[in-house]
Each structure stands twice: as C-alpha cells, then as structure tokens.
Structure 1
Amino acid sequence: MSKNDRSPWFLPVIYVGGLIFGFGLAISGMARPEVVLDFLQFEDLGLLFVMGGAAVVTGITFAGATRYLDRAPLTASEYTRRVKDLDRNVIVGGTIFGVGWGVSGICPGAAYASVGIGNYPILWAIGGMFLGAYVQGYWRTFRSDDAAGVTEVLSN
C-alpha cells in the first residue's frame, strides 16, 4: 500500500478526527489530569462512560465496515485481523504505560488536548513520553543488532 493508493481525503479526515477527539476530551473534562486521577481512584466514574461510549461507537463502526465493505474507504487497505502475541515486551510496555498514566494522570492522546486547554505543565509528561519512546526504540535497535551479531557468530 503506497501513499498514492490512498484517498485524497485521508489526511483531512485524520486531522478533523483528531480535532474532534481533542475538543471532545476538552469539553468532557477528560483532558484534566485531576479528573483522570479521580477515575483511577474510583472517585469519579465519568471517564468510564466516555470510554464506554467510544467503545460502543467504535465496535459498531468496525462491525459494520468489515461486514459491508471489503476495503477501508480512505486507505483502500484490506480489512485483516492483526494478532499480536502476548509476550514479555507487551507485558513490560503495558506496565510502563499504565504506571506513567497513573503517575501523570493523563494518557498520551489527552495530554495533547490538555496543552490545548492551557495545561502547560503537562509538557513535562509529553517530554517523558518522547524520551520513553526514544529509549525504547534505541533499546530495540540495540537488541536487534545484538541478536544479528549472535546469529552471524553462530553461522560461521
């Protein structure tokens, strides 16, 4: 799938979807870390209704799209199921993500919306996300280079 196969509406729809998502988070109050922390402490379950509503809409959309369309409208990609094994990397990554979410009180998507409503200290959390992504990428590159070296030594 190349960029040329995509619909010309691909990027505009992505940007508009991101704006709607950000406004929705801001209007619902979910871009405020204190709301998220209250949810994580079971004091305010409003976030559960926001996430539940999003899950229902997404589930209906995917069920309908995969049943009645053979390809995604904007990318022309075939609908396929991507199965990911539950391995150590998934467990460790999920744990780090969850701890980061609990400590900062914000998930990555809501962090950007939080900047949009004037919560500039959240930039520290966003910086931490970028640093964590860089370290993870470096670590995976190091591990794959190390594994390639071991394979090369074993093949000689």
Structure 2
Amino acid sequence: MWQFIKNPNFLALGMGALFGFLMSRAGATTYDFHVKMFMFEDMQLMKVIVTAVIVAMLGVYLLKRFNVRSITTKTPVDFVKKPYQQGLILGAMLFGIGWGMTAACPGTIPAMIAEGKIGALFTFLGLILGTLAYGILKTYLLHAKESSSS
C-alpha cells in the first residue's frame, strides 16, 4: 500500500488536485473574480496572487538555504537562473492579453475544466495551439538563423 503512495506520479497527482482545490476555494477559477480584478473593482484574486508569490519566495529561499533534496529521487534541488530571451516582453504581453480575454491563466485551466466550465476547454485548446505555434516559429527562426550564417 505505501509503495503506491510513494509513487512520484501519485504524489504529483495528489499535489495537483490539492492545488486545484485550493485555487477553486480561493476564487481563482471564477471568471467574475478575474474580471473584477482586471477592472480594479475587487482585489480578492490579486491578494491571493500576491500571497502565493510571497509564499513561493519564502519557500524557494528556504529550499536554497537548507540545500533540500528531491522527495522522490533524493537529488539536490537545483535553482538555475534562465538567461533573458529577446521575446520575453512580447510573450508576457501576449500572456496578459490572453489572461484578460479568457479570465483564466494556465494554472487555473485544469481546475476550471474539473469544475465543468466548458469555456475553459476552449482556453485550453488556445493554450495548446499557442504553444505549438511558438515551438514551430522558434524552430523556423533557429533554422533560418543557421542558414543565413553558413
């Protein structure tokens, strides 16, 4: 029995379900809360986001401070800074526009689908298509850059 619970996939599924439940309880899966936040009418969701950022910052600090190891693989947890990418600003703007248009960010979409919100399926489809388009465009630009330099 305990071997099943120690399975990394089971642990990830349980943590994801808990995360989705907590987002739902906090109102992060409610379209109206997103709209009211973007209209500066109700800052409940912004408070949830700010709280999550503070908890995450504290958590990362503690993980670094105590050289924590992975639960499943026992390897040291590594925090490598990613280099700045040129399209980061445009990507962030597109992310914000998508969030504003759909009242859902990628983290809330699975929880919205689990709640039975049909609109989240279309948002999920847009997320998949956007990710696919990014991959294709990035590959094309990389090959174009290599072709022009040879």
Interval of TM-score (by shorter of Structure 1 and Structure 2):
0.7 to 0.9
- 1:27 counterpart letter in structure 2: R
Gaps of at least 5 residues in structure 1 are 1-7
Q: Does 1:15 align with 2:13?
A: yes
Deviations 1:12-69, CA, capped at 9 Å, x for gaps:
3322221111111112221012211111111111112211222222222211111112
Identity across the alignment (%)? 23
TM-score with structure 2 setting the length:
0.85
TM superposition shift of 1:77 = 4.0
Counterpart-to-counterpart distance in 2, 1:47 and 1:119: 18
TM superposition shift of 1:141 = 0.8
TM superposition shift of 1:74 = 4.0
Aligned to 1:55: 53
Contact 1:29 1:35 in 2 (8 A): yes
Shift in alpha-carbon separation, 1:77–1:11, aligned structure 2, 3 A: farther
From 121, 126, 129, the equivalent of 1:128 is 126
Deviations 1:70-105, CA, capped at 9 Å, x for gaps:
5444451453331421x4310111111110001111
Looking at both structures, which has the greater relative contact order when contacts are Cα pairs under 8 Å and sequence separation is at least 6? 1
Aligned to 2:81: 82
Aligned to 2:148: 150
Aligned to 2:114: 116
C-alpha RMSD over aligned residues = 1.8
Count the aligned residue pairs. 144
Counterpart-to-counterpart distance in 2, 1:146 and 1:103: 33
TM superposition shift of 1:115 = 1.1
Contact 1:70 1:79 in 2 (8 A): no
Contact 1:39 1:47 in 2 (8 A): yes
TM-score with structure 1 setting the length:
0.82
- 1:79 counterpart letter in structure 2: D
